[in-house]
Amino acid sequence: EGLHSLMVAAGKLYFGTAMDTGNFNDPAYMAIVTNKSEFGMFTPENSMKWQVTEPQLDKFSFTQADEVAQKVKSNGQMLRCHTLVWYSQLPTFVANGSWTPATLSAVMTAHITNVVTHYAGQCYAWDVVNEALNEDGTFRQSVFFQTLGSAFIPLAFRAAAAADPRAKLYYNDFNLETTPAKTAGALRIVQLLQSNKTRIDGVGFQAHLAVNHTPPRTSLAATLRRFTALGLEVAYTELDVAQTALPESAAALAQQARDYVAVVGSCLDVPRCVGVTVWQFTDKFSWVPAAFPGRGEACLFASDYSRKPAYDALVALLRGR
């Protein structure tokens, strides 16, 4: 029994992972991906981002993301779609354009409509807006916020809802687990949408965490409940727990296992937490070392695909031992 089967047995919808086409030519990687018991949900790590799907104005390209979607579908697994409106990995025409509110809202709406329509019926959920907040809970100075103010958020959710009534629509961000001012900002985004009668179904907690800096299970669950109390579902969407000193000690590996258990355990504690996605399952392909030199070894499997103590601890947690 793998993580997904055990998660379903525990009453959740899925255990998932990020992956992308760059991983497809690694047989050991794909053997794990195609094991339906291990992972039931996949998020394309990069291939659905604006830079890839609309590299030039009105020139849409779905080749790469279709490869991921096709692989997942042919194996009877689910897809979390990521992401429509994000300040990063934007094509230069968006990032460097000189926009008015009217021209940017038209381009943003057209982007959302095209991409969501292309994948309509295939996405369990869409991360409609990603990382709109600063750590203090104010809005990040993205091209979208600078041009449209916070109105870009309801605009984006409405376009997504119109293009796929079935996909759950999520706001997704990092450090919502750890940073109360940012959590408060995300709650304000939910309330902004709800007071506008605009559909939002869920909030994604990315959970890019670090060993020894992961909150305890009870406070993680309490944070999730602040969102489920507003009628939403929640999910951990990009979980990894980075080591901060490398190579890690045996004690640090054991702490990493406890940190993973705290996060997945908090999802078990909250009925409307639907599932957990890790942001790659092997250290071989983790984004962490490139982005944070000196950090890494953040995943459940080592680079050689051996299962780490954190993997075994999640199996024990999900088996109820």
Nearer to ligand G3I by Cβ, of 17 and 256: the residue is 17
131 is known as an active-site residue: yes
In b/e form, how buried is each residue of 74-88, taking b as 16+ CB within 10 angstroms?
eeebbbbbbbbbbbe
Would you count residue 45 as binding ligand G3I (CB under 6 A)? yes
The residue (of 105 and 280) whose beta carbon lies closer to ligand G3I is: 280
Q: Which is nearer to ligand G3I, 88 or 117 (CB)?
A: 88
Q: How many residues does the chain have?
A: 321
Q: How far is CA 127 from CA 46, 83, 136, in A?
A: 13, 5, 22
Of the candidate residues 21, 34, 46, 212, the single one contacting ligand G3I (CB under 6 A):
46
CB of 103 to ligand G3I, least distance (A): 25
**Catalytic pick from 131, 233, 248, 297?**
131
**Minimum distance of ligand G3I from residue 83's CB (angstroms):** 6
Among 287, 295, 302, 305, binds ligand G3I (CB under 6 A): 287
Q: Is 92 near ligand G3I (CB under 6 A)? A: no
Q: Provide, rounded to whole angstroms, the least separation between the CB of residue 76 and ligand G3I.
A: 25
Q: Give residues with Cβ within 8 angstroms of 116, minimum separation 6.
A: 84, 123, 126, 159, 160, 163, 164, 167
- What's the closest the beta carbon of residue 233 comes to ligand G3I, in angstroms? 19
Cα distance between residue 102 and residue 273, in whole Å: 37
**Radius of gyration for the chain, computed over Cα atoms and rounded to the nearest angstrom:** 19
> Which one from 45, 238, 248, 297 is the annotated catalytic residue?
238
Of residues 199 through 218, those in contact with ligand G3I by CB under 6 A are: 206
The amino acid at residue 50 is W
Find out whether 48 and 83 touch, Cβ atoms under 8 Å.
yes
Residue nearest to ligand G3I (CB): 287
Site for ligand G3I in 53-82 (CB under 6 A): none
**Would you give the DSSP letter of residue 139?**
B
Other beta carbons less than 10 A from residue 291's beta carbon: 11
Window 96 to 155, contacts with ligand G3I (CB under 6 A): 130
Dist CA 39 CA 37 (whole Å): 6
Asked if 38 is an active-site residue, the reply is no
233, 168 contact by CB (below 8 A): yes
Minimum distance from CB of 85 to ligand G3I (Å)?
12
**Catalytic positions, please?**
131, 238
Q: Which residues bind ligand G3I (CB under 6 A)?
A: 45-46, 88-89, 130, 206, 238, 287, 291
